[in-house]
Amino acid sequence: MSEQFAEVIVDVPSMQTNQPYTYAIPTEWIGQVFPGMRVIVPFGKRKILGFTTKILSKRPGVSFKIKEIEEVLDLTPVLNTEMLEMASWLAKWTFSFKISCLQVMLPAAMRASYNKTIKLTSTDVSEEVKQLFDEQNEVKFDSKELSADVFKKLSKLSREKKAEVIYQVHDRARTKKVTVIKSLLNTQEVQKQKELLRVNADKLRLLLDFLGKIGSQILTQKDAIKKTGLSAAVFTQGEKKGWLKKEKVEKYRDPYRDAEIKRTKPKQLKAAQQKAVERIDHSIVQQQDKVFLLQGVTGSGKTEVYLYTIACALKNKQTALMLVPEISLTPQMVRRVKSRFGSNVAVLHSGLSEGEKYDEWRRIERNDATVVVGARSAVFAPLENIGIIIMDEEHETSYKQEDMPEYNARDVAIKRGSWHHCPVVLGSATPSLESRARAQKGVYEWLRLDERINGQPLPEVQLIDMRQELKRAPAVDISTPLLDAIKQRLEQKEQVVLMLNRRGYSSFIMCRECGFVLKCPNCDISLTLHMDSHSMKCHYCGHEEPIPRTCPSCQSKKIRYYGTGTEKVEQELQQLLPETKILRMDVDTTRRKGAHAKLLRQFGNKEADILLGTQMIAKGLDFPDVTLVGVLNADTSLSLPNFRSAERTFQLLTQVSGRAGRADKLGQVVIQTFNPKHYAIQLAKKQNYEKFFGIEMNMRHRGGYPPYFFTTQIVTSGPNEADVAKKMFEIDGQLKQVLSSQAVILGPTPKPIMRINNQFYYQLVIKYKKEPELDAFLEDLLLNSQKEARQKLKLKIDRDPIDFI
Ligand SMILES: Nc1ncnc2c1ncn2[C@@H]1O[C@H](COP(=O)(O)OP(=O)(O)OP(=O)(O)O)[C@@H](O)[C@H]1O
Ligand SMILES: [Zn+2]
Ligand SMILES: [Zn+2]
């Protein structure tokens, strides 16, 4: 082997290309570099990161001097052939740069430049090898500093899985500690100390009162400060006086990791479940890359079907991948999987720190975890020999990534299924129209679970016409029938779930004199009122300012807030039902790590009577004592200017209704709406998916929307509106040359929220059936888009966009 070269996809911001560059492999690394390894290469004056995609043993016929690879970042490939091919496909399919497709497959920890060490993981090595490592069995990994000989040895060890490269992720979460406070005084001592205080020592008196109240309870200093309004300094003073003790304790990290999980046995399947399991298991054993649509009403035991098929794959000595929407990746769901498969399970979700995600990734890579449960990006989990891929709630929009690469995990899952020759199961009570239509055509095999496990009918749904209610009592959020139903359930010691549909909806401030609405200075959107932080915030750019007391426009004092925020409803409810314990679950109360899990645990332990929340409570919850579900405003998702708004509304109402009456008690659902006659609401009331599917397909056919037509959206953005508009019309003109007369272009138009963070957004949408030239045109458009970098114009091409707004 005299010479070797590598094709490298490089990461050059604002000069992206999908063509690889060729670099020479320095002699000392010849035979050690493989496709799927990361390298540092010279590029112009810079040193940049790249992925090797191909190794050549012949010098390419070029006249210029081929530069050498500077550094090798991996001992063995971090992406295998499957993933390298996936990246090429993904780049084309999603009109993305190859480099972003390669990057998205790796955990974030591996994208940063951390220090790396090589750890010896086996004792079955020669003395000579052992001497390379220190007492901790580690050696610093820097390919430039290691001699060729040592590099070769380490590389071999890594291939034999006797050593691995480890990133020293400086993870604050790893060692995160919090200060807690313990009182050292009993009640009498508190009293005594109070008598000794000077008259004007108000703060210390407050502190003593507080210590008297908490008794033996341990609180975090943060909570104590919040509760008392005292500063940390006062607590330090108290500590010096020997009244209290401060201690640093490790903060609770992964809500799932340490929990003792009891193993459970599979349940005896019902006939319909049995049939579904048999069909899927057959495909696993026969290694068929088939797609199944498992359409099962809420509470019909879909999850149990998933668990059985996972067991089948494991028995077949294969691995399993189960995708769930981020929001339903609840401790409840994780526990169900872990209780069946124990430590074989790796969980990937956004609540993990970078380091934790990386740990889970490595467990999968080492084949220590054979079952992966995770949200969207887990679809790239480095599993080998996959036997089954499951996607729960397949209709969920969170499976689509909004940033480049704008992939839909469903497409990637199906692609992986065909690579691994394994079945893919798409499960839902309310499948997306696209999937349901494919099942109709026989592209997917259609499996159905039409009955609830408990044999109970689906809960009775009652619609409340809010137009009538508001005539009686304006400005209430909870109608009399709903309130009565809540009271009755509470009397029976049952639990209630209330949902506030908040999509595109929030509480804002308006002046009753002049109609002034407080808007974000950077975006075309009104600011949202946040009672907990006592401020106005922009949900798009994060701008925050104090709540105005007078109208900034007319100085009137009649400035009030409008809209039904969860906080406002909580207050209203608490006034109506003073004795009731209410838990509120929304973005504000779940921002802190583990908060989501904690709220659910509290509700599950019956520490509260009512769980009030946004969309986040609609999915996956399985609490036996919940017998009433109330929806406060069914319509907000209906009024969005979006062809999917009826579908979204139907899905949401069906999902949330499904939370009621899951055990032996019959459930009840009350939906408040301003559009009681709308078909999405009427059919959600009847929980008739099939009828809804029929009507909605008809609407889509008439409007020329998916699944009858394909759609692709192009968005341009930039700081100068005229430049953005000009570019968009230019693209429109070019498209008209390329497209056939069958295709339709909507736009170009400004986006409904035209300005976000001082960037202007224009869009157009192409609707089409068959356009053989379109993909190539769009790919060129993407690659050429960087020429506009001077005008700071950005381009985004989105195939099968979720929304057009
Ligand atoms: N064969 C069975 N025998 C007894 N109980 C079962 C069986 N299958 C499932 N269950 C139980 O029935 C309840 C509902 O099942 P599961 O959560 O799997 O339904 P699902 O269709 O996934 O629900 P959803 O889509 O509403 O979240 C669960 O508590 C589950 O443990
Ligand atoms: Zn803003
Ligand atoms: Zn005013």
Q: For 157-184, what is each residue's pLDDT tens digit?
A: 877 778 777 766 554 434 456 788 888 8
Asked if 323 and 374 touch (Cβ cutoff 8 Å), the reply is yes
Residue 792 per-residue DSSP state: T
Residue 95 region by backbone torsions, left for phi larger than 0, else alpha for psi between -120 and 50, else beta: left
Cα–Cα distance, 120 to 157 (Å, whole number): 8
600 compared with 561, residue with greater pLDDT: 600
Query: Which CATH fold would you assign to the domain 460-506+563-700?
Result: Rossmann fold (3.40.50)
Q: Which atom of ligand 1 is nearest to the CA of 300?
A: 21
Q: For 119-153, what is each residue's pLDDT tens digit?
A: 777 777 777 777 777 777 777 777 677 777 777 77
757 alpha carbon, closest ligand: 2
Superfamily of domain 710-799: Ribosomal protein S10 (3.30.70.600)
pLDDT grade for 326, boundaries at 50, 70 and 90: confident
Closest to 94 measured CA to CA, from 805, 798, 801, 804: 798
Q: Which atom of ligand 1 is nearest to the CA of 336?
A: 31
Cα–Cα distance, 388 to 532 (Å, whole number): 45
Class of the CATH domain delimited by 271-449: alpha beta
**Lowest model confidence (mean pLDDT) among 76-90, 382-396, 676-690, 787-801:** 787-801
Residue 261's pLDDT is 66
Q: Which atom of ligand 1 is nearest to the CA of 328?
A: 27
405 compared with 62, residue with greater pLDDT: 405
In Å, how far are 36, 37, 112, 191, 625 from 106, measured between CA atoms? 11, 12, 11, 59, 42
Same fold? 271-449, 460-506+563-700: yes
Interior angle at CA 723, CA 720 and CA 724, nearest 5 = 85
Question: Which of 11-20, 87-96, 356-365, 534-543 holds the top average pLDDT?
Answer: 87-96
R_g over Cα of the chain: 30
The answer, yes or no, to whether residue 259 has pLDDT greater than 60, is no
Residue 229 region by backbone torsions, left for phi larger than 0, else alpha for psi between -120 and 50, else beta: left
Residue 475's pLDDT is 64
Cα–Cα distance, 488 to 354 (Å, whole number): 47
pLDDT grade for 254, boundaries at 50, 70 and 90: very low
Residue 458's pLDDT is 80
The answer, yes or no, to whether residue 679 has pLDDT greater than 80, is yes
The answer, yes or no, to whether residue 471 has pLDDT greater than 50, is yes
Residue 517 per-residue DSSP state: B
Residue 506's pLDDT is 52
Burial of 664 (0-12, 13-18, 19+ CB in 10 A): exposed
Residue 558's pLDDT is 76
Residue 721's pLDDT is 92
**Lowest model confidence (mean pLDDT) among 87-96, 274-283, 631-640, 672-681:** 631-640
Residue nearest to atom 10 of ligand 1 (CA): 301
The answer, yes or no, to whether residue 493 has pLDDT greater than 70, is yes
Question: Which of 122-131, 518-527, 598-607 holds the top average pLDDT?
Answer: 598-607
Q: What is the mean pLDDT of residues 637-649?
A: 77
The answer, yes or no, to whether residue 217 has pLDDT greater than 90, is no
State how beta strands 138-140 and 116-120 pair: antiparallel
**Lining residues, ligand 1, CB within 6 Å:** 267-270, 273, 296, 298-304, 429, 453, 620, 622, 658, 662
Q: What is the mean pLDDT of residues 528-552?
A: 78
Residue 507's pLDDT is 64
312 marked as binding residue: no
pLDDT grade for 405, boundaries at 50, 70 and 90: very high
Residue 174's pLDDT is 46
DSSP string for residues in 81-120: HHHHHHHHHHHHHTT--HHHHHHHTS-GGGTS---EEEEE
Cα–Cα distance, 61 to 611 (Å, whole number): 69
Closest to 206 measured CA to CA, from 235, 179, 182, 186: 235
pLDDT grade for 256, boundaries at 50, 70 and 90: very low
Percent of the chain residues past pLDDT 70, beyond the cut:
92
Cα–Cα distance, 178 to 169 (Å, whole number): 20
Asked if 427 and 333 touch (Cβ cutoff 8 Å), the reply is no
422 marked as binding residue: no
pLDDT grade for 447, boundaries at 50, 70 and 90: very high
48 beta partners: 41
Closest to 304 measured CA to CA, from 345, 326, 276: 276
Query: Ligand 2 centroid to 517 CA: how many Å?
Result: 14
545 alpha carbon, closest ligand: 2
101 marked as binding residue: no
Class of the CATH domain delimited by 5-106: alpha beta
Query: Ligand 1 centroid to 302 CA: how many Å?
Result: 6
**Domain positions in the chain:** 5-106, 115-168, 177-250, 271-449, 460-506+563-700, 710-799
Percent of the chain residues past pLDDT 90, beyond the cut:
43
Residue nearest to atom 26 of ligand 1 (CA): 298
Residue 296's pLDDT is 94
Residue 736's pLDDT is 94
Query: Ligand 1 centroid to 663 CA: how many Å?
Result: 9
DSSP string for residues in 441-487: HTSSEEEEE-S-TT-PPPPEEEEEEHHHHHHHSTT-SS-HHHHHHHH
Residue 33's pLDDT is 93
Tell me the torsion sign for CA atoms 92, 95, 98, 102. Answer: negative
State how beta strands 116-120 and 71-72 pair: unpaired
Mean pLDDT value across the chain: 85
Query: Ligand 1 centroid to 380 CA: how many Å?
Result: 28
501 compared with 433, residue with greater pLDDT: 433
**Lowest model confidence (mean pLDDT) among 218-232, 359-373, 674-688, 734-748:** 218-232
Q: For 680-707, what is each residue's pLDDT tens digit?
A: 999 999 889 999 999 999 989 988 889 9
* Helix, strand, or coil (residue 182): strand
DSSP string for residues in 629-662: EEES-TTTTTSSSSTTHHHHHHHHHHHHHTTSS-
Q: Name the one residue in this structure whose structure tokens are 């899990």.
A: 597
Cα–Cα distance, 162 to 122 (Å, whole number): 5
758 alpha carbon, closest ligand: 2
Q: What is the mean pLDDT of residues 208-227?
A: 83
Q: What is the mean pLDDT of residues 459-472?
A: 85
Q: For 369-394, what is each residue's pLDDT tens digit?
A: 999 999 999 999 999 999 999 999 99
What ranges make up the beta strands (E) of 30-69? Answer: 38-43, 46-56
How many other C-beta atoms lie within 10 A of the C-beta of residue 64?
5
Residue 504's pLDDT is 37
Q: For 702-731, what is each residue's pLDDT tens digit?
A: 888 899 999 999 999 999 999 999 999 999
Q: What is the mean pLDDT of residues 481-490?
A: 94
pLDDT grade for 340, boundaries at 50, 70 and 90: very high
Tokens of 580: 């009731």
- Please tell me the total number of residues recorded for the chain in this structure: 805
Burial of 317 (0-12, 13-18, 19+ CB in 10 A): exposed
* Helix, strand, or coil (residue 698): helix
Q: Which atom of ligand 1 is nearest to the CA of 658?
A: 26
Cα–Cα distance, 217 to 266 (Å, whole number): 41
* Helix, strand, or coil (residue 738): helix
Asked if 292 and 298 touch (Cβ cutoff 8 Å), the reply is no
In Å, how far are 486, 635, 772 from 673, measured between CA atoms? 17, 6, 45
pLDDT grade for 562, boundaries at 50, 70 and 90: low
